[in-house]
Structure 1
Amino acid sequence: MLKQKLLQKGKQKLSPQQIKLMKLVQLSTLDFEQRVKQELEENPALEMEEDLLNSISINEEEENLDISENMMDLSEDQNSSNDEINIDEYLSYDEILDFKNNIPNQNHSEKKYIPIISGISFQEYLKNQLHTFRFLNKEDLLISDFIIGNIDENGYIRRPIPSIVDDIFLILGISVTEEKIEKLLSNYIQKLDPIGIGARNLQECILIQLENKKKSTEVFIAKNIIQNNFEFFTKKHYQKLQNKLGITKKKLRKAIYQIEKLNPKPGKIYSENTRNLNHLIPDFTICIVEGNLELSLNNINTPELKISSRYLDMLKSYKYSKKNIKKNDNNTIFFIKQKIDSAKWFVESIKQRQNTLMLTMNAIMDYQKEYFFTGDPYKIKPMILKNISQKIGVGISTVSRVANSKYVNTPYGTFLIKSFFSEKMINKEGKEISSIEIKKLLVESIEKENKKKPLTDEKLSKILKKKGYLVARRTVAKYRNQMKISVSRMRKIL
């Protein structure tokens, strides 16, 4: 039976300024610097503070100017005029300022932290080699150049050949068969340096490299393994390989050694060397000064901002000459007001961002002060987002935004803040320990294992239990996966 009833629900709705603040909080130092630069370019009412000794606070002249009251006065004096400004419309317009998530400017060339390595792109490097072949006519070169354009930074062609055929017809207007593409690939593109370029998958990439190796028994067996027994190889079923190929363990080991010397991502050799190197810039720095921990926020390249006095003067001039205001001036007033409001909000958001970051990081530093004093990973206490959230009185999502994207420079290295958060576990003595401690012990055990008989998750669990850590096999598997460590079978060597 259907019934109607009234319910009251409380909903929280973020204001535009809160949205802007959350977006600024999650930005790293480099991205934040770019965001400030972008705002300076887009908003003429925002400018850099000339006197760097001044604080980021809004210019006193702006603080004394109540823009809303000015506009109300302006409207009241012209109540009988056709040029009257509609305050309701004005306020509604003011509510819908642009708060889209702007993509940071990726041009880092002006930053002193980021050296630029000049040179041609990976595709251009390949095309320069291709154009040295004498037996390719103009059409074949055009098609081959197009194929090279589909090679990714690892050196692979991920796009299916039929799709490339369609693209060539649509973009170049050339009708070409799949057989022609295959021929150009095998006879020319896959001959380019580095060897292995132009493969469709890992199996083909390894075969191309093996074809270019000096002929020997080991290489012949290696080709047989990759061409006909690739699945056994990838799953490290060495005994099955040995039985199927009818070879000794020694010969199998030599063949696999030939494969392991090859490069599974040949394009990385060149593409990584021509890519801009983004040096890691920490957002915070923690130092030990006279036995105390000191925290600082990295603001080296962030300019101090203020509201443009020119725009404030323009708004003042409209206020003092309201009797002579013309109808077309209303749009100008709206524009000035919008830009000043947006600049004011941005400056205020920067101050709130700094306060939020310092408040959150101070709480984390205080919570993990034993570690920051000693640098001993075993001193890291179990800590979750809720612990910090409750301590400083902000939302868990705010703490998460700080932890997931920020780095801190300590006397022991630079770390992602997120790495200091961990689950709580209890050892045999009933003492609370961090999951970071368990992970460290797991890594140590795996490093010491016999690689011919790697430790299973069950055995690792028993080792931890002997050391006083009650960790189930499933938990071992979870932590191992988090650390991106393979299962025992995949860690095995001959």
Structure 2
Amino acid sequence: MKIALGAKLTTGLSLTPQLQQAIRLLQLSSIELEQEVQQKLDSNPLLERIEQDEFGNDTHRDDLSGDFLQDDFSLKNSLSKSSQDNYQDDCQDDYQDYGSDAIDSSEYFASNNLEMAIDSDWGEVYTHESPTALHADIDELDDAYKFSTRGNIQDHVRWQLNFKHLSDIEMVIAEYLIDSMDEKGFIRLTTDELFASLDTMLSFYQVEEVDLTLENVEAVVKQIQSCEPLGVGSRNLSECLLLQLNHLPNDSENLENAKKLLSYPDLIIANNINALLKETNLNIEDIQPALALIRTLDPNPASAYQQSQSQFDFGPESYDIPDVLVVQHKDSWQVSLNSDTLPKLRINQEYANLIKRNDESAQNLYLREHLNDARLFIRSIEERNQNLLKVATCIVKRQQSFFEHGATVMQPMILKDVADEVGLHESTVSRITTSKTMLTPKGLFGLKYFFSSHVASEDGENVSSTAISAMIKQMIDNENPKKPLSDNTIVENLKTQGIDIARRTVTKYREAMHIGSSTQRKQRF
């Protein structure tokens, strides 16, 4: 066997820190984006925030404008290639094409903008401001939406963890777990699933020398579960209620029997007393007071942090500040970004003017490096906002029937439909619509809500699965509480509307909306 050295040329994709930043910014919620901006401001002296009192009259061109990004379209005009071209032409009047998504544009700036900054006048590097008021009256949008800012359950838990003296790696794990919470404060992942996801995330961000174990993850879960309100951080309803029971005095009456019953949550929800008697070996005199104790517990620990609640958690989101605003004005729908969530940033000119060409001193290199970082950060945010506006506008166009008539006429739409229309990659659209909400005349919705698969109807037309779910919920909302509709009855009712689906499909949609069976609805626990 002969051993020799040789050279081999290969090609591959390398994600630079700048590209990772651009991709990460796409999927941040408004609260997470503000945290990211503040961290960048704290670490980069070349970046500064435009104060509100000066922003209205500020004319500096090397900044990220906080005015409304906005678009609208006529209700009378159907979506067509020409209308999309017109939209792109409007944007291209003010914007140079730096690529179709975050990766393309970030690579362009990473390779070009440092020398541009040294050779050019500072006001000429970005020869534009963010697009504002393309077609509509901004004041009317301001008047149409007045909402209060309030913290959510995730922020409340983060604040409490500041006092628990967690290590750096524990804080990384905690942040991931908190981001995984749903609106009820539940972390609906097993410890094994959390461990696998965390391991992937740490590898992506190239966090080395971290000995991540299942015990690490479970320990942080316990820290989160020790926070208020009791039950937050639970993996399921049983664990949520059990955490609350564990905080009662040990000598509390019926405590042990209640804990034993929680091993059978499905039987409790179904109010199946006979099965509970058989499984627990308790008698009826023990079960009834134990059930009464369980009924005093809170199955939704984050309820105080939700602006409104739906019995079946279906439809509008109710726990976030909107990223996108939608109003109907005369014969058009106006789509804009919420200015309150848009960072207002620019380059610090005092520091920028200190940079000298051909000066390789440590101070000058430090300033040049941070100037490049600041400009890339501004551009990444600006690109995020532009793409969010394009995607939101496309969603409103394609789901116009929903905005006019409601969820029962929602159109089938998948990520690829929007990606093809706006000229972005499907994964980019997925990131853009993650953790973003849209405030509409019909309520506050997550952008993901508008995407759904389709079911073929009898007339050959495709019907959105979301529309079918809305029809099912509408039937159940209007049913006689004493005689709830069975899944078979719902199937027959849908057939009269030209929708032929199996009973098991109705059951799947109903359970996805957390709606009990007809038996459970008749004698709901």
Instruction: Determine if the TM-score, normalized by the shorter chain, exceeds 0.5.
Output: yes
- Determine the structure 1 residue equivalent to 2:466: 436
Over 3 Å counting, the alpha-carbon distance change for 1:467 and 1:287 in structure 2 is closer
Match of 1:237 among 268, 272, 286: 272
Q: 1:41 to 1:472 in 2, by over 3 A?
A: same
CA distances 1:218-239 after superposition (whole Å, capped 9, x unpaired): xxxx989959999865654345
What is the deviation of 1:292? 0.8
Task: State the Cα deviation string for residues 326-346 of structure 1 (Å, max 9, x = none).
Answer: xxx632232111111100101
Match of 1:402 in 2: 432
Asked if residue 293 in structure 1 is aligned to residue 333 in structure 2, the reply is yes
The code of the aligned residue for 2:150 comes to I
Aligned amino acid, residue 262 of structure 1:
R
Which stretch shifts more, 405-414 or 8-17?
A: 8-17
C-alpha change, 1:233 and 1:427, in structure 2 (3 Å) is same
Report matched runs for 1:6-155 at 5 Å.
12-49=13-50, 51-52=54-55, 53-54=57-58, 57-58=61-62, 67-68=114-115, 113-114=149-150, 153=228, 155=230
Q: 1:273 to 1:335 in 2, by over 3 A?
A: same
> Quick one: which amino acid aligns to residue 386 of structure 1?
K
Change (3 A) 1:239 1:272: closer
| 2-structure distance, mates of 1:455, 1:207 | 44
Instruction: Work out the CA distance in 1 between the residues paired with 2:434 and 2:516.
Output: 25
Alignment CA distance shift 1:466-1:45 (3 Å): same
1:264 is the counterpart of 2:297: yes
The one-letter code matched in structure 1 to 2:29 is S
Note the alpha carbon deviations across 1:90-109, whole angstroms, 9 max, x for none: xxxxxxxxxxxxxxxxxxxx
Give 2:139's aligned residue.
none
Structure 1 unaligned spans of 5+ = 1-6, 60-64, 73-110, 124-146, 160-194, 213-221, 246-250, 323-328
**For residue 259 of structure 1, what is the amino acid of its counterpart?**
A
Structure 1 residue 493, shift from structure 2 partner: 1.7
- Paired with 2:464 and 2:508, the residues of 1 have a C-alpha distance of 15
Closer, same or farther in 2 for the Cα pair 1:280/1:70, shift >3 Å? Answer: closer
- Over 3 Å counting, the alpha-carbon distance change for 1:492 and 1:289 in structure 2 is closer
- 1:283, CA displacement in angstroms? 0.3
What do residues 357-416 of structure 1 show as CA deviations (whole Å, max 9, x unaligned)? Answer: 1111111111112222x1422232111111101111111111112223111111121111
Contact 1:235–1:490 (CA<8 Å) still a contact in 2? yes
Residues 1:206 and 1:409: Cα distance change in structure 2 (over 3 Å):
farther
TM-superposed CA distance for 1:200, in Å, is 4.3
Q: 1:355 to 1:43 in 2, by over 3 A?
A: same
Are the aligned partners of 2:258 and 2:293 in contact in 1 as well (CA < 8 Å)? no
Aligned match for 1:311, one of 333, 346, 351 = 351
Q: Which amino acid aligns with 1:113?
A: T
Q: Letter of the 1:364 partner, please give it.
A: I
Q: 1:208, 1:227 → 2: CA distance?
A: 16
Q: Which has the larger radius of gyration?
A: 1
1:360 has 2:391 as partner: yes
C-alpha contact 1:384 1:423 (8 A) present in aligned 2: yes
Cα distance, 1:240–1:392 mapped onto 2, change above 3 Å: closer
TM-score of the superposed pair, with normalisation by structure 2: 0.55
Deviation at 1:354, TM superposition (A): 1.3
Instruction: Give the conservation status (yes or no) of the 8 Å contact 1:236–1:492.
Output: no
Provide the residue aligned with 1:419 in structure 2: 449
TM-score by length of 1: 0.58
Check conservation: 1:116, 1:276, Cα contact below 8 A.
Answer: no
> Letter of the aligned partner of 1:337 in structure 2?
R
1:126-163, Cα deviation, whole Å (9 max, x unpaired): xxxxxxxxxxxxxxxxxxxxx9998564657999xxxx
Displacement of 1:308 in angstroms is 1.7
- Aligned residue for 2:469, secondary structure, equals helix
For 2:410, the aligned partner's letter is I
Shift of residue 294, structure 1, vs aligned partner: 0.8
- Matches of 1:450 and 1:397 in 2, distance apart? 44
Structure 2 residue 504 is matched with structure 1 residue 474? yes
Task: Give 1:341-380 correspondences, 5 Å limit.
Answer: 341-372=372-403, 374-380=404-410
Task: Compute the RMSD of aligned alpha carbons.
Answer: 5.3
Residues 303 and 155 (structure 1 numbering): CA distance in 2 closer, same or farther, change over 3 Å? Answer: closer
Unpaired runs of at least 5, structure 2: 1-7, 64-111, 120-146, 162-221, 235-240, 309-317
Change (3 A) 1:447 1:259: farther
Contact map agreement 1:209 1:262 (CA 8 A) in 2: no
Residues 328 and 334 in structure 2, CA contact (< 8 A), matched pair in contact too: yes
- Provide the identity percentage: 25
Aligned residue among 245, 264, 268 for 1:199: 245
Cα pair distance change 1:428/1:151, threshold 3 Å: same
* Amino acid in structure 2 at the alignment position of 1:338: E
Q: 1:260-300: per-residue Cα shift (whole Å, max 9, x none)?
A: 883234995xx976999996310010111121111111122
Distance 1:295 1:157 in 2: 35
CA contact (8 A) 1:454 1:492 kept: yes
Counterpart amino acid of 2:297? P
How many residues get paired? Answer: 360
Q: Distance in 1 between matches of 2:307 and 2:481?
A: 38
CA–CA separation in structure 1 for the residues paired with 2:268 and 2:434: 37
More deviation, 225-234/428-437: 225-234
The answer to whether the 8 A contact 2:322-2:436 is kept is yes
